[in-house]
């Protein structure tokens, strides 16, 4: 079996890389990881060895989305850090039989410079953004190289488009980040209508997003919530503790309470209440009729489960109006968003009204249900994407022996 190096550049890419890495380990390969941005925590959680020390930056690898973000990355030394990581890559690449890229132009170019065999999962690019994918220079030139033995896309449209552009086969085998969600069999108790709230995972943007989501909840009819006709579930990361959460919501009139069962906590303001689910992200996605979302990968996973998604635009650095609009192009017609300035009372009220409409449509509108299923299959793929990629990479390694 081979020795493989995973090369990724972002939190979402690290998550996909860790899942692909586990699938490759199951095939019998020795796998290390070199995350170019951030701490690479998904690799640690998966038990995959990291090359060198890692460092996290406040932009979360998203500095390219604004001038302020770019300046912040410069001041924090992220560019220098990236160059050091690339130099380390060039020094150690000879130890590996293949470099596996998860990301965009930066790791693609870095892998090409290594002069080692490469397999690339272009999770960061899609033809759905513009209809025809415009790869940034020199990404296309690197991918055309004979050293790049396999290119995997994140959807079928991109596979067809890039196969023509690169004049070599590009395949869509599914997306590894969908695998744990599609396999997750946990469910919440039955409810007539359930709205899941996804504020994202990056702090401090998480806190800003949560305040806005609660603003939408305040515009939902109290009678629906108090009667149990509508249940609200908040998928929350463990990094935001109960103490920090309580301190965050107190100024806006919300408080943290223990549920009657004593096994979970609630956010409550008068008749409005939201149940907090830590460690139950998959159950919230599977059990919700609609996801009110201010996140990246989580929204993709919701669409991959054939759930409609309602966006709420925030202040960023990630979930801005521009990011939300790009996400709608990527994920298609089952992602909805109201027009309006971020955070205003009018926008929050209109979002609440659309949420109620979509909750009903999710049950009664068979055309929407079929559309959700079609979008899930064509844009995210079936379960097992990581295993299929790992098998394809194993085949390449056997052929080169």
Q: Are residues 296 and 213 in the same domain?
A: yes
Distance from chain centroid for Cα 300: 6
Its pTM stands at 0.88
Quote the longest CA-to-CA distance of the chain.
68
Q: Are residues 149 and 203 in the same domain?
A: no
> What integer pLDDT is reported at residue 185 of this predicted model?
87
Q: Are residues 326 and 362 in the same domain?
A: yes
Q: Are residues 368 and 392 in the same domain?
A: no
Distance from chain centroid for Cα 337: 18
Domain count, the chain: 2
> What integer pLDDT is reported at residue 56 of this predicted model?
60
| Domain CATH code at residue 243 | 3.40.50.2000
Q: Are residues 187 and 133 in the same domain?
A: no
Q: Are residues 250 and 392 in the same domain?
A: no
| 302, 291 contact by CB (below 8 A) | yes
Q: Are residues 58 and 197 in the same domain?
A: no
Q: Are residues 326 and 389 in the same domain?
A: no
Q: Are residues 42 and 128 in the same domain?
A: yes
Q: CA 396, CA 269: separation in Å to the nearest integer?
A: 58
8 by DSSP, 3-state: which? Answer: strand
Q: Are residues 142 and 197 in the same domain?
A: no
| 70, 64 contact by CB (below 8 A) | yes
Q: Are residues 128 and 210 in the same domain?
A: no
* Rounded to 5°, angle at Cα 21 from 17 and 23: 120
> What integer pLDDT is reported at residue 254 of this predicted model?
96
Domain that holds residue 104: 3-174+384-400
Mean pLDDT of each 10-residue bin along the chain, 401 residues long:
92 92 97 89 94 62 45 55 87 96 94 95 95 94 96 97 97 96 91 96 91 97 93 92 94 88 82 92 96 94 97 91 95 97 96 98 97 96 95 93 74
Helical (H) or strand (E) element with 98: strand 98-102
Q: CA 201, CA 269: separation in Å to the nearest integer?
A: 23
Look-up of token digits 């890495």:
21
Q: CA 326, CA 225: separation in Å to the nearest integer?
A: 33
Report the first-to-last Cα separation within the chain, whole angstroms. 10
Q: Are residues 212 and 253 in the same domain?
A: yes
């Amino acid at each position: 079996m081979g020795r493989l190096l995973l090369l990724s550049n972002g939190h979402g890419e690290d998550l996909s890389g860790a899942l692909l890495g586990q699938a490759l380990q199951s095939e019998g390969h020795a796998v290390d990881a070199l995350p170019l941005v951030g701490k690479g925590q998904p690799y640690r959680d998966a038990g995959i060895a990291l090359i060198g020390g890692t460092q996290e930056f406040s932009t979360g690898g998203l500095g390219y989305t604004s001038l302020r973000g770019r300046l912040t990355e410069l001041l924090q030394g992220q560019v220098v850090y990236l160059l050091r990581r690339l130099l380390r890559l060039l020094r150690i690449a000879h130890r590996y039989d293949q470099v596996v890229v998860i990301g965009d132009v930066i790791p693609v170019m870095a892998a090409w410079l290594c002069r080692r065999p490469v397999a690339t999962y272009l999770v960061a690019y899609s033809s759905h953004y513009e209809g025809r994918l415009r790869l940034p220079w020199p990404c296309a030139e690197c991918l055309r190289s004979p050293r790049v033995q396999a290119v995997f896309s994140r959807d079928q449209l991109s596979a067809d488009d890039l196969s023509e552009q690169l004049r070599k086969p590009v395949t869509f085998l599914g997306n590894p980040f969908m695998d744990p969600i599609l396999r997750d069999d946990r469910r919440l108790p039955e409810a007539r209508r359930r709205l899941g709230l996804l504020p994202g995972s990056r702090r401090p943007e998480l806190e800003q997003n949560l305040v806005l989501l609660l603003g939408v909840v305040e515009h939902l009819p109290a009678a629906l919530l108090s009667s149990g006709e509508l249940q609200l579930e908040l998928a929350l990361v463990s990094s935001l503790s109960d103490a920090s959460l309580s301190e965050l919501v107190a100024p806006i009139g919300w408080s943290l309470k223990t549920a009657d069962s004593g096994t979970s906590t609630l956010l409550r303001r008068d008749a409005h209440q939201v149940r907090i689910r830590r460690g139950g992200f998959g159950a919230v996605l599977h059990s919700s009729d609609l996801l009110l979302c201010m996140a990246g990968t989580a929204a993709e996973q919701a669409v991959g489960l054939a759930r409609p998604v309602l966006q709420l635009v925030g202040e960023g650095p990630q979930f801005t109006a521009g990011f939300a609009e790009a996400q709608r192009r990527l994920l298609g017609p089952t992602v909805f968003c109201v027009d309006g300035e971020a955070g205003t009372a009018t926008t929050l009220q209109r979002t609440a009204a659309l949420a109620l409409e979509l909750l009903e449509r999710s049950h009664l509108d068979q055309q929407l249900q079929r559309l959700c299923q079609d979008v899930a299959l064509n844009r995210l793929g079936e379960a097992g994407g990581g295993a299929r990629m790992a098998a394809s990479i194993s085949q390449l390694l056997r052929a080169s022996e």
